[in-house]
Structure 1
Amino acid sequence: MTYLPAPDRYDRMVYNRCGASGLLLPAISLGLWQNFGHDTPHRTKQAICRTAFDHGITHFDLANNYGPPPGAAEEAFGELLRTDFRAHRDELIISTKAGYRMWDGPYGEMGGRKHLISSCDQSLKRLGLDYVDIFYSHRFDPDTPLEETMGALAEIVRSGRALYVGLSSYNSARTRDAAAILKDLGVPCLIHQPSYSILNRWVERDRLRETLGELGIGSIAFSPLAQGMLTSKYLKGVPDGSRATKGGPFRDGFLTETALQSIRNLNAMAEERGQTLAQMAIAWVLRGGGITTALIGASKPQQVIDCAGAVGNLTFTDEELARIDEISSEEDINIWAQSSEGV
């Protein structure tokens, strides 16, 4: 059956300017990090993406290594572009990244020119596109000159492979250096993608939010729900089939008693606000306009609907913000700390 998007989709979403650029991004974006590999039925992926677009989510975020296996998410979304979204390509912002291990040998990861440009070409082939809207350096490479990494990003834009470039998990100091190089090359950094949630606040300690504002760079916070911890999923224990039972990036020990108590406290507060926990957690990330868009993941369409509902109430009183600080604790869940915090 031919997919016809909801005619009122743009009335359902809030759109924010991305830094000092001319690009507007939806307050909620959809990431295909998990649940878009070969272990998820294609119909489920299709339903998730259709639901997202029906709710005004125009930004779909990928990376070359998303799967499993690596590359599978781009292939799946490429198929959806052909079957569902071909007529709507110019309504979509599609991003992808390179930097993590993708193929064997010395050129299969990190920030060298060879890896980044080869990765971009491979991603375009899997997606079936001539260009992506945003191409990211997925992580900082301490062994490659930053000038080489940023030069490769600039070349990707100049060659027409991408419209914009971004950084992911770079700390504040590295972001300043990278942005300066890109500015000199005439290809400004559009956006930064850090992990950020109520339970993971490294961007505040690092003052990354302030740095991005000063530099006119937009931001997209990934894992705003702390890989599902900031949802109703774990209020009554660990359900079968949840990330906590599958291993992978959700590590043993994340669901400490302290974390579970924070989650219960926050859920009670969300109920008082007339929101789900997920909605309040997303609204908190977006508070005050410091973050352009919150990047969610989903394993079913209803989760997209729930998260998109966060735009119904994005404001907090000073008292509410103080209470969130009081009833929650920051947890040791930043598995990207080596890139982001330099430890």
Structure 2
Amino acid sequence: MYQADEHRYQQMVYNRVGDSGLKLSAIGLGLWNNFGSVDPFDTQVRMIHQAFDLGITYFDLANNYGPEPGSAEANFGRIMAGDMHAYRDQLVIASKAGYVMWPGPYGNWGSRKSIIASANQSLQRTGLDYFDIFYSHRPDPNTAIEETALALDQLVRQGKALYVGISNYSGAQTAAITAIFNDLHTPFIIHQPRYNMFNRDVEHDLFPVLKREHKAAVGFSSLSQGLLTDKYLNGIPADSRAKKGTIPFLNPTQVDQTLKTVEQLNVLAQNRGQSLAQMALAWNLRVPEIASVLIGASRPEQIVNNVQALQHLDFTDDELAAIDQILAQQGDISWGAH
């Protein structure tokens, strides 16, 4: 029977989410990949246990995570119903609605019909009574932003979510929906953008809005799907997602385009006494608006290695300038969202 490490809270950093009372572990575990119906369940259990033993309390889901879509929520629900059940109140569990989930006109986007139905399905799959955070996964160009906001507000009033968030919204869209949430007194606290060294546009578009509105962010694609690691420095492993093509915007071409930049960043990380992945995570967390960064993992050891980034979060001015100079040669890269 699993019993959590009694020292887990001593080795993690917890950051306040904007001006709310909620704190998130500085590193959260994303279940976008490796938690689906095609993945070994015992490995999933070991990764959840390892994450919690390291003090990770934020677990990030969405209705369509798998494959098959929905299976990540179902598998996480199985784990929660087992050894993790006793720790429910020590966890922040999030899910989302907004990407295609079922056939027909109601299984996608951000209408009240779609969001409420999706949230109910997600609660059934996970077996949870409520989500700590429920997100609108992306803005809907054909639904008024007020309708999406009201649907999220309804989830809170029904006791199905404690807080709400949004993901993949622009700065202007974030400002607009924040005004609605403020009028409704909805506990909107967080935005989830794609953010890493290769994707920095949100620094100028989104982060100023979050700062002004006293909201926080949790970044996804924190290591650019593995590009910001040493995984590809000596070639593309046969079992990697880049080789398998399991992600549309991660393939050998992207690896080749970034290799020179990654080599330079890796040298800088080594000089700091970190792996490239650890430095990249620490770099993300330098932003005051970032409360947490999401990592993915296919085995427990990766989680252990990534959490070690918290041992060296500080950067000198010279290091930050060197990183900016290296990245300026690469430019911003945008290959889609999850």
State the TM-score, normalized to the length of structure 1.
0.95
Amino acid of the structure 1 residue aligned with 2:261:
S
Deviates more, 1:17-26 or 1:238-247: 238-247
* 1:254-280 alpha-carbon deviations (Å, 9 max, x no partner): 525441111111111111000111110
CA displacement, residues 193-243 of structure 1 (integer Å, 9 cap, x when unaligned): 00000011121242x112111101111000110001111111111101111
| Aligned equivalents of 1:54, 1:112: Cα separation in 2 | 38
Q: Report SS of the residue matched to 2:177.
A: helix
Give how far 1:317 is off.
1.1
Q: Which residue pairs with 1:325 in the alignment?
A: 324
- CA shift at 1:250, angstroms? 3.5
Q: How does 1:29-44 map to 2 (within 5 A)?
A: 29-44=28-43
2-structure distance, mates of 1:131, 1:254: 42
Partner residue of 1:307?
306
Contact 2:163-2:188 at 8 Å conserved across structures: yes
- The equivalent residue for 2:97 is 98
Instruction: In structure 1, give the amino acid aligned to 2:220.
Output: F
1:154-233 alignment to 2 at 5 Å? Answer: 154-206=153-205, 208-233=206-231
Please state whether the residue corresponding to 1:255 is helix, strand or coil.
helix
Q: Which residue of 2 aligns with 1:285?
A: 284
Aligned counterparts of 1:46 and 1:173: Cα–Cα separation in 2 = 40
d(CA) in 1 for partners of 2:88, 2:99: 27
Q: Name the structure 2 match of 1:77.
A: 76
Secondary structure of 2:139 counterpart: coil
**Correspondence for 1:242:** 240
Cα distance in structure 1, aligned partners of 2:127 and 2:255: 43
**Corresponding residue SS for 1:87:** helix
**TM-score where L is the length of structure 2:** 0.97
Structure-2 residue corresponding to 1:4: 3
Q: Name the aligned partner's letter for residue 330 of structure 1.
A: G
RMSD value over aligned CA atoms?
Answer: 1.3
Q: Residues 188 and 228 of structure 1: is their aligned pair in 2 closer, same or farther, counting only changes over 3 Å?
A: same
Amino acid at match of 1:174: Q
On the 8 A contact 1:112/1:144 being kept in 2, the answer is yes
Equivalent position amino acid for 1:54 in 2: D
Structure 1 stretches of 5 or more lacking a match?
338-343
Check 1:69–1:258 CA distance in 2 against 1; reply closer, same or farther (3 A cut): closer
For residue 129 of structure 1, report the CA deviation from its aligned partner: 0.7
Percent identity between matched residues is: 51
* In 2, Cα distance between equivalents of 1:324 and 1:255: 20
1:129-177 Cα distance to aligned partner (Å, 9 max, x none): 1101000000000100000000000000000000000000101000000
For 1:103 and 1:292, the matched residues in 2 are separated by: 32
In structure 2, distance between residues paired with 1:182 and 1:45: 36
Q: Distance in 2 between matches of 1:20 and 1:332?
A: 31
Partner of 1:340: none
Structure 2 residues not aligned, in runs of 5+: none
The answer to whether residue 44 in structure 2 is matched with residue 45 in structure 1 is: yes
Alignment-mate amino acid for residue 57 of structure 1? I
**What CA distance in whole angstroms lies between the structure 2 residues aligned with 1:311 and 1:137?**
29
Letter paired with 2:337: W
Alpha-carbon distance between aligned partners in 2 of 1:74 and 1:330, rounded to the nearest angstrom: 36
**3-state SS of 1:187 partner:** coil
Pairs aligned (count): 335
> SS at the partner of 2:224?
coil
**SS at structure 2 position matched to 1:284:** helix
Cα distance, 1:256–1:8 mapped onto 2, change above 3 Å: closer
SS in 2 for 1:230: coil
4+ long deviations beyond 3 Å: 249-254
Describe the superposition over 1:11-68 as per-residue Cα deviations: whole angstroms up to 9, x where unpaired.
1100000001000101000000011111210011011111100000000000000000
